[in-house]
A and B are shown apart, each in its own frame.
Chain A
């Protein structure tokens, strides 16, 4: 299945954070979502063949990478208090159903 690390993270405002995701075997597309408390997941961006393939309404300080083994990173610079959320990674074959990992819960103080 899809795995994510770390499970929990505490940072202070202005810091930078890197979250990691390992895709399900055979999947070539990775999507990242942010889920704030009481809300549904919101699309951040998607990677396919190591290229960003679509972005939601998130500023450039949210960036990502996809590696040759289709694992992925989400980087967030200059953390703000509102970045506190559950960050979900989803993997899929291109155009097919997305399967989610357990998420990383980020708290920004």
Chain B
């Protein structure tokens, strides 16, 4: 049972336009969400996070939106740049009350920004 889903395996966007990456989750106990970017032969790099008490968090060109009622979050990248081409993973945190801060990851979306 996949608790975090990224239903789009790939996305292509023109340079300068907006990239929107989507993520759905099923566990209503998740209270912390993150986006990571991964280049080939590197580990995931932290991009941005959001707590469940917020519905939006912004950091430069990156904005994450959280819709708790729909159990949906999205990452907006504006404007998109060729260097943003990578695989993007959505992750959710559970078990915070027990002290185990494990992340549940989606399967990733490969973003290609076309010059």
Distance from B44 Cβ to chain A, minimum over Cβ atoms (Å): 5
Q: Is B69 an interface residue (CB 8 A)?
A: no
Q: Is B104 an interface residue (CB 8 A)?
A: yes
User: Would A103 and B43 be within 8 Å (CB), given that A40-B107, A41-B89, A54-B95 are in contact?
Assistant: yes
Q: Hey, which chain A residues are within 8 Å of B4, CB to CB? A: 40
Q: Are A102 and B42 in contact (CB under 8 A)?
A: yes
Q: Are B106 and A40 in contact (CB under 8 A)?
A: yes
**Size of interface on A: residues with Cβ below 8 Å to B:** 28
Q: Hey, which chain B residues are within 8 Å of A46, CB to CB? A: 100-102
Name which residue of chain B comes closest to A88, CB basis: B43
Q: Are B102 and A31 in contact (CB under 8 A)?
A: yes
Distance from B47 Cβ to chain A, minimum over Cβ atoms (Å): 10
User: Which residue of B6, B45, B100, B107 contacts A54 across the interface (Cβ within 8 Å)?
Assistant: B100
Distance from B40 Cβ to chain A, minimum over Cβ atoms (Å): 11
Q: Chain A interface (Cβ within 8 Å of chain B)?
A: 2, 4, 29, 31, 33, 38-43, 46, 48, 53-54, 56, 88, 90, 92, 94-95, 97-103
